[in-house]
Amino acid sequence: MNKDYEVRYAVGQNEAKAYDTEQLRDAFLADKLMQAGKIYWVYSHYERFMVGSAVPTGSPLVLDTISDLLKTEFFTARRELGIINVGGSGKVEVNGDIYQLEREEALYIGKGEHNVTFYSNDAANPAKFYLNSAPAHHAYPSKKVGKQEANVLHMGSPATCNERDINQLLINTVVDTCQLQMGLTRLKPGSIWNTMPAHQHDRRNEVYFYFDVEPEQAVCHFMGEPKQTRHLFVSNEQAVLSPPWSIHCGAGTSNYAFIWGMTGENLDYDDMDKFLASDLR
């Protein structure tokens, strides 16, 4: 039984205003992802969203339920699951079906798929499966989304230091989901801003997972209310839980990539409230 998890309770905007650096990091930063040989989860009380990782090395990893947390017989009894591989080649077995996932390929697993196992093709270069999960009310079919199936948006420009490719992988124009959406954004060399203008969406939460951040580099992730912003310095393979009341954007000391995952009542990707840089405080 998988017991390697932690719980993050929801924090309101008024409380967050008084937090110091350590309190902000404890509440909003997931900094223990991608542990070799483990499945690890952070259970968030924002939309009951779960963010996690599976890194199989010498042995496969079986996705077990967390009985004292989920109170279900198996993990996906009432949940859907999104997976994006950011490591070496690997595969995911779902009820006997094998899905080969290369780096930056995605897999959606629908509610009710009770046998899920993670494998690396090479233990010396293991797969690193980044996981998002949300409650589900309907069972949609599992589906792999490779790089060729993604909807790619080319955004930004070198002049504003935010030239980037947004790979929409697990969104409702590509695959049927209940409420989970995921994608991967990669910044071009010389660009550092991952999202501008900064935005928030009160109808869903979002999690940013940063990767391909070089060891001596970092990303400064901005959060908080538009007139009460806060920041977190984030290292490689760490994630920030962004509440519905918070803006989200970030700037790195070099270019990098990140995975965005969202869940909530609205599947419209463009449903967001934008704030110009001149409006932020």
CATH number at residue 223: 2.60.120.10
Please report the pLDDT score of residue 174 as a whole number.
Answer: 96
Please report the pLDDT score of residue 273 as a whole number.
Answer: 83
Q: Report which DSSP code applies to 160.
A: G
Average pLDDT over residues 231-257: 96
| Residue that wins the pLDDT comparison between 2 and 281 | 281
Q: Residue 267: which pLDDT band, with cuts at 50, 70 and 90?
A: confident
Going by C-alpha positions, the residue among 144, 83, 146 that lies closest to residue 118 is 83
Q: Burial-class residue 6 by CB neighbours within 10 Å (0-12, 13-18, 19+).
A: exposed
Quote the CA–CA distance of 102 and 197 in Å, as a whole number: 32
Please report the pLDDT score of residue 153 as a whole number.
Answer: 95
CA distances from 34 to 7, 40, 73, 236, 256 (A): 17, 8, 25, 10, 17
Across the chain, which distance is largest between two alpha carbons, in Å? 53
How many separate domains does the chain show?
Answer: 1
pLDDT tens-place string over residues 38-94: 999 999 999 999 999 999 998 999 999 999 999 999 999 999 999 999 999 999 999
Quote the CA–CA distance of 244 and 264 in Å, as a whole number: 9
Task: For the chain, give the mean pLDDT.
Answer: 94
End-to-end CA distance of the chain: give it in Å, rounded: 46
Q: Are 237 and 34 in contact (CB under 8 A)?
A: yes
Q: Residue 112: which pLDDT band, with cuts at 50, 70 and 90?
A: very high
Is residue 250 over pLDDT 80?
A: yes
pLDDT tens-place string over residues 159-169: 999 999 999 99
Q: Report which DSSP code applies to 193.
A: B
Q: Report which DSSP code applies to 277.
A: G
Q: Which residues pair with 97 in a beta bridge?
A: 94
Please report the pLDDT score of residue 199 as a whole number.
Answer: 85
Q: Residue 3: which pLDDT band, with cuts at 50, 70 and 90?
A: low
| Residue that wins the pLDDT comparison between 104 and 271 | 104
Mean pLDDT is lowest, of 5-14, 100-109, 259-268, for 259-268
Is residue 204 over pLDDT 90?
A: no
Please report the pLDDT score of residue 1 as a whole number.
Answer: 40
- What range does the domain containing 17 cover? 5-279
Is residue 272 over pLDDT 60?
A: yes
